[in-house]
Chains A and B, each alone.
Chain A
Amino acid sequence: MIKKRYILNFPPESGDKPLSYCLVKDYDISINILKAEVYPGKRGSLLLELQGKKENIQKGVEYLTAQNIICEPLEKRIHFQEEKCIDCGNCTAVCFAGALTMDKVNWKLDFDKEKCVVCELCIPACPLKLFYIDFS
């Protein structure tokens, strides 16, 4: 079992296919929608986290590509300069994914990278400008 993140870009004509149903039913992939932007009649994009067997995920991505959907693996990650952090909490105010939270005992910042959906709201929210995107 592996977990991978993909950004899916839909052409305008692909909005009527039950894609996620096929991924679940035919490829046994569990799907977590992290972010969705849909502009009806124009285009749409989804940030998905796919969990399943490696070969199934590969086949699922091939299936999506055959449907004219552009699938890009997401390696983009948010990082921050922890040693400079003052634990003020400003970033936790905007992190609706729950990746950035304050530890309720020592009130230091906790960053659970697994929960991060790369919405990037923390980047401007940090008053010390400690967050940055890593495209590695």
Chain B
Amino acid sequence: MWSGYFLSIGAAVSIFLFHKKCQKMKTYEEINLKIKSGKAVVLTAEEVSRMALEVSPEEIVEKVDVVTTATFGAMCSSGAIINFGHASPPIRMEKINLNGVPCYEGLAAVDSYIGATACCPDNPAYGGAHVIQDLLEGKDVVLEAWGKGTDCYPRKHIKTTININTINEFILFNPRNAYQNYNVAVNTTHKMIHTYMGTLLPNMRNATYSTSGELSPLLNDPEFRTIGIGTRIFLGGAQGFVAWPGTQFHTTRPKNELGIPVTNAATIAVIGNLKEMSPEYIKAAYFEKYGVSLFVGIGIPIPVLDVDIAKRVSVNNSQIQTSVLDYGTVGMPKLGEVSYEELRSGSINVNGTKIRTAPVSSLAKARKIAEELKLQLQCGEFEISKPVQLFKKNTSLKSLKETEANND
């Protein structure tokens, strides 16, 4: 009888311990202590996806502290805040050009914002992204500005050169980056078209895709439990922050059975000091017959706080789907859904048609970022931060409704 009693106590204890193990939770503070002492176990999202094929989420929480995610793609909604400093005599800059590229003039006297996609009217293949890259590479850039002349800012014109060392602030502030999933682009028409998704050959002769799949930041935290306002991130080679949900932040898109959106959904706004960034992770681009854009390298560490997060970071390319859209037809009708595993294989099958695939964002660079961030976490150089505020849920998008504008 006694042995039976002890057995049942033993069973109860082991069930309790097992339950405790399932409920294993870690805090940001605990993980940061491990990071500071150089003892944190860090894997890339690709590594943890392979590990998860053999190891349970419970064991992943035990074994892994942080998972690094990354992306390196063209992100059009990017730009830089610049403060030029005051000249003597001073000027209230009311029209500003940098290497011929117009930048924003409505911010006090010598503050400006240069948008990545702004372009030089005489040379549409050179734009704001190129100015940002030139400054980042230490090159001189021609600043020309005009003002009406005021009592306190008497000057009406200035033309001079600036570089990264002469300007006071040079801040990357991108309103919409790191899309959570993105569409696959094809073209069903008989004409070649040029898009931000690259050159699309006629008659669905190619398909292009953009995200880094299982390595992509927002696909590894689809419910935004750890990525929110204030999250410290790798941005262009420096440490930056998530500033806000990105523009066109959309959390109610169709999702798969794992809760991952199957089309472009949420985004993040990011901010960081360009003076600390590297030209290796910020690259200007010109897409033929489309325009200028900026390749931005972003890496986000995801702390493995509990089993739910362990499951999220364990997803692999076969479990993430995205929508194939016809970029040649107005309204971009959806033609099908494919997984990132299929996209990476080199061809996809859309309604019986085999289509060759090509990426338009760099997985090689994304991997390099994930590895670099991993190294920084392992040697205690990168502290993870809990979001100051989580993003709103249940958001959707408005389209631009046209009213009967008064043209008088």
Contacts and interface: CB of A to CB of B under 8 A. Distances in A.
Contact of B206 (A94, A108, A127): A94
A13 interface: no
Interface string B361-373: 1111101000000
B283 interface: yes
Contacts of B74: 88, 127
B85 interface: no
A116 interface: no
A128 B133 CA distance: 12
Contacts of B285: 127-128
Interface stretch (B86-94, B146-154, B230-238, B287-295): B287-295
A97 B284 CA distance: 28
Contact of B201 (A96, A104, A127): A96
User: Which of A87, A92, A93, A108 has the most chain B CB atoms inside 10 A of its CB?
Assistant: A93
Interface of B: 72-74, 125, 194, 198-201, 205-206, 208, 283-288, 293, 295, 344, 346, 358-365, 367
A81 interface: no
Contacts, number: 74
14 contacts: A87-B363, A87-B365, A88-B359, A88-B360, A93-B198, A93-B199, A93-B358, A94-B198, A94-B206, A102-B358, A104-B344, A106-B364, A127-B287, A128-B284
Contact of B286 (A93, A94, A104, A129): A129
Mostly helix, strand, loop or mixed at chain B's interface? strand
Contacts of A104: 344, 346
Contacts of A96: 201, 205
Contact of A124 (B283, B288, B359): B288
B358 A89 contact: yes
Interface in A57-90: 86-90
Contacts of B208: 89-90, 93
B361 A88 contact: yes
Interface in A115-135: 121, 124-125, 127-129
A125 B367 CA distance: 23
Nearest to B201: A94
- The size bracket of the interface on A is 20 to 34
Nearest to B208: A93
Pick from A86, A102, A108, A124 the residue with the most CB of B within 10 Å.
A86
Contacts of B287: 127
Contact of B199 (A86, A87, A90): A90
Given A89-B358, A89-B359, A125 B365 contact: no
Contacts of A125: 198-199, 288
A89 B362 contact: yes
A89 B211 CA distance: 12
Contact of B283 (A86, A93, A106): A86
Given A106-B364, A107-B363, A128-B283, A90 B198 contact: yes
B200, B284, B358: which has the most chain A beta carbons within 10 Å? B358
Contact of A94 (B73, B199, B364): B199
Contacts of A94: 198-199, 201, 206
B72 A86 contact: yes
B206 A88 contact: no
Given A104-B346, A125-B198, A88 B286 contact: no
A93 B206 contact: yes
Contacts of A107: 359, 362-364, 367
Given A86-B295, A87-B365, A124-B288, 20 more contacts: A86-B365, A87-B363, A88-B359, A89-B358, A89-B359, A89-B360, A89-B362, A90-B358, A93-B199, A94-B198, A94-B201, A96-B201, A102-B358, A102-B359, A107-B363, A121-B199, A124-B194, A127-B285, A127-B295, A129-B286
